[in-house]
Amino acid sequence: MFGTLRLLLAFLVLLSHLDYRIAGIPGTGFQFRPDAEDSGFNPGPFAVAIFYMLSGFVMTGLVRAYYMDLKKFGLFLVDRCCRIFPQYLVFMFLMVPIVLTCDQGHMRTVDGDPTVLRMLYNITLIPLNFLMYIEDVANFTLIEPAWSLGAEMQFYLVIPLILIWRARDWVVPVSMAIFFLGSMWFFNMNADVWAYRLLPGVLFIFLAGSYAFDVNKGLTSAKVKLGLVYVGVLGLFALMAAYSLYKGEGIDEKWSLGKNYEVYFAFLIGVPLTLWLATKKRQDWDEYLGNLSYGLFLSHMLAIWGLAKWSIGETTLDQTPWFTPIVIVASFAMAAAGYHLIEKPVLAFRRRFRQRKIAPAGPPAR
């Protein structure tokens, strides 16, 4: 029963892109507005990390049910592309006229015109995850949070192989090691890159969700493994916090480079939350709310920059009092339209495709 949670997480991403922070709670201090002073806990990275975990849970169930065969790998990718691309491409192309007419000085991820190469990067999604290395991505991402969809697509490329080859138990510690090294200031690594954005450093978060799926199925070994991962993350975070206090530094300074601080909290809260929600019976209303979440995740930047173009709010810094409420209402309206007009028909097709063309793969491998 993850639908309500998914919608809440998408809403937190929306608030993050409006530069709302939870005051009084330490955060990374990262602001989209360079002259902003309201630092605090950023809900966006927190939400994205829990999205990773939920994806690992759901994909494990999907692969175990239908795709536990290398011959079905291509079918799995078709299934996932049918999930990700229809709404994404619609909202992405709707951003183009905004880009061509809006004052780009107000846009955080767009600088210049949509060249063929830039559009190709956006259409194929995966390059957006490498924004720190590809200039045309850093300067031209039409849907700002779509870089995380690039990480998601990479996860789809590896999760069937990890499960079929039973590689999860060695992939997790390798990914955790990259995450830990990326988190530590004295290794001079960028935590925003290695412990938040790129798949090698966050793959263990996806796979924690995978372990949670097996825990929900009653597998004791998965419970032990997930417990060890949880203790490891908690232990390193406690160590970093203790050392920063010993050095007389705020934990939101050197010890929370990039967005790492929020990711730690997301993992520590997300694991028990996922396990608890997985025990709840599915409800139609909860599933419907979950179906709105993807459209909300994709559409809110269209609302923000579209309304900015029409002078309802020049930027997220220079807002009228009613800019945020209008963005929220417009985003939810577009999310509902995206689900009913685009996602719902494709979802029905995917379900028929699985039932008629793909034989279930049998019980989960133990």
Write out the DSSP string of 299-341.
HHHHHHHHHHHTTS-SSSSS--TTHHHHHHHHHHHHHHHHIII
State which residues form the domain around 328. Answer: 3-357
Say if 362 falls within a structural domain.
no
Residues 45-60, mean pLDDT to the nearest whole number: 97
**Predicted confidence (pLDDT) per residue in 175-186, tens digit:** 999 999 888 766
Question: Tokens in use for 203?
Answer: 């793959």
| Residue 207 pLDDT greater than 50, yes or no | yes
Rounded distance, CA 289 to CA 282, Å? 12
Say if 366 falls within a structural domain.
no
Rounded distance, CA 305 to CA 103, Å? 9
- How many domains does the chain divide into? 1
Query: What values do phi and psi take at 242, rounded to 5?
Result: -65, -40
**Predicted confidence (pLDDT) per residue in 256-276, tens digit:** 445 677 899 999 999 999 999
Give percent above pLDDT 90 in the chain: 64
Say if 306 falls within a structural domain.
yes
240 pLDDT band, cuts 50/70/90, is confident
Beta-ladder partners of 41: 22
DSSP class of residue 102 equals: S
Say if 363 falls within a structural domain.
no
Residues 73-87, mean pLDDT to the nearest whole number: 95
Sign of the four-CA dihedral 85, 91, 97, 102 = negative
pLDDT confidence of residue 41? 84
Say if 365 falls within a structural domain.
no
Residues 245-251, mean pLDDT to the nearest whole number: 63
Say if 364 falls within a structural domain.
no
pLDDT confidence of residue 313? 46
Rounded distance, CA 136 to CA 43, Å? 27
Which of 50, 51, 71, 58 has its CA nearest to residue 161? Answer: 71
**Predicted confidence (pLDDT) per residue in 94-127, tens digit:** 999 988 887 776 677 898 899 999 999 999 999 9
Sign of the four-CA dihedral 252, 253, 259, 263 = negative
Enter the pTM of the model: 0.92
Say if 302 falls within a structural domain.
yes
8 pLDDT band, cuts 50/70/90, is very high
214 pLDDT band, cuts 50/70/90, is very high
**CA trace torsion 78, 195, 304, 83 (10° rounding):** 10
